[in-house]
Amino acid sequence: MIISPIDLAIVITYVLAMLGIGYYVFRKAPSLEEYLVAGRSMTTPILVCTLASTYYGLDVLFGTSEVGFNDGVVAFFGYSELSLGFYVFAAYGLSRKLKAARFTSLPEILERSYGPATGYLGAVSSILYSLPALSLFALERISEVMFGIDAQVGALALGAIALLYTLWGGLWAVAITDTIQFIFMCVTLAVAVPMLMSELGGFEAVAATVPETHFDIFGGMPVWLMLAYAATGISILVDPAFYQRIFAAKNFRQVRNAMLIALLVWGAYDWAVTAAGMLARSGVEVGALPANLHSNDALLTAVVWALPVGLVGLFLAGVLATSMSTIDSYCLVAGSNISYDVYRPLVKPDATDRELVQATKIGICISFVLGYILAFMFDRLMALWVFNASLMTSTVLIPIMMSLFWKGRRTAAAGKMSFLFGMVSVIVYYFGLSQMGVYDETWGTYIWSVQIGNLSYELWQEYALFFSLPISLLGFLVGNLIGEPRGPVIEPEEQSA
């Protein structure tokens, strides 16, 4: 697909602006607290922008549109909207407790609750979850489909831009660029979807061309798969970037209000992305788009086909903004885990702020490289997202929820065993299904058919969370019978502050 010089100039201008912001913040030489949690001074407006742009990256833009392309409105009603329920609980149930204790990172919660060993395990899980593989995976598609350059080279070059301004400015640079990227994301999608609808002849024409099941709430998607996709939304309750925003907020009310406002944005964004995926499917059915169009490329190809010169450049800048807002946030989280949660306690407990900032920057680079490698190991965006979310949720959800809400006995062994039981169960499940199951080209996953008596059951790789979470809880209960009980994670005087 050929991009006009005008559109290319718009994209280049956007990229240079992001780098300029990062360099401006870099000149202020932020302290460790400013670098990691923005001096704990963020207010509602900037929190809305950084929350919305961070969580609705290219995994949603391409992942939800992929489901919309293949299955229709189930992408919104059966997947996205069920996930938003977890966000409401996060706004009311988690924010106050996390803000009260003045944590700096997610692993620090585990360290205070269960001891250093569990804190280190949590750091490893947080680092793996925060690797920017999802966004780099999507940048591969942008590079190849939009700019006609090698996928690996394009992902490396475009991703390096977000890496650079994150290295320069830390969370303040991330938050300021997220604010601009938030505007690009919302405006460009709001313009693109109606124009695409118009090009395809309106709603009635689209409804007549896509499969009938595309307008069923459950679509053609198996119910258990829909629930598995929705269940990955529980990862927000242990998402380290979300926790970082809570720690960076000026007070509890700021982050709670930001979450509630962001919910409205997320709902509208989900619907627009789902609609774009369905519109792309209509374009394929009527011959306006290639018959062999891959679902991963559907949204990009359809929108660029429908938009005129100039708006294409703004849309591509918006897509890049969506990707960069996620890359910068999660690279910073992984880098801070490496420096604050691993390097500081294990290597140099008396490290200065300057040394920890430098260690964080090294960690950011490490996370980017590892994410780049991981991005080429999956064929479908949703498969990569489900594996990441399943691993993070299965290892730390139970220990963290128990540390914050369980008032009974809690031992160091409980945290470690819950983590290890959850991790092993996810890995064994995924590996086992890949060996015993059959790869399904339509869904891009392994499915194992099990016959019990006269009944046949199908186990999909995406169902891992249904087994690993109960196993993680079992590990906590078994471990809780061992060792001496520990005190509360949040001291009473901090709760009342």
DSSP 350-362: T--HHHHHHHHHH
Report, as an integer, the average pLDDT of 191-210. Answer: 87
Q: What Å distances lie between residue 152 and 172, 205, 270, 364, CA to CA?
A: 29, 38, 28, 19
Using the structure block, give the residue that is written with the tokens 């909207």. 81
Q: pLDDT tens digit string along 103-130?
A: 888 999 999 889 999 999 999 999 988 8
- 299/275 Cα distance (integer angstroms): 10
Report, as an integer, the average pLDDT of 190-201. Answer: 87
Q: pLDDT tens digit string along 56-114?
A: 666 677 778 888 898 888 888 766 666 777 888 888 888 888 887 778 889 999 998 89
Residue 428 CB neighbour total at 10 angstroms: 14
- 42/58 Cα distance (integer angstroms): 25
229's torsion region: left (phi>0), alpha (psi -120 to 50) or beta? Answer: alpha
**Backbone φ and ψ of 102, nearest 5°:** 50, 50
The encoded tokens of residue 256 equal: 């709670």
Beta-ladder partners of 450: 457
Confirm whether pTM is higher than 0.85: no
Residue 292 CB neighbour total at 10 angstroms: 6
Q: pLDDT tens digit string along 133-184?
A: 877 877 877 787 777 788 888 888 888 888 887 787 777 777 777 777 778 7
- 420/394 Cα distance (integer angstroms): 9
Between the CA atoms of 47, 49, 55 and 60, what dihedral angle is there, to the nearest 10 degrees?
160
The encoded tokens of residue 66 equal: 């992929």
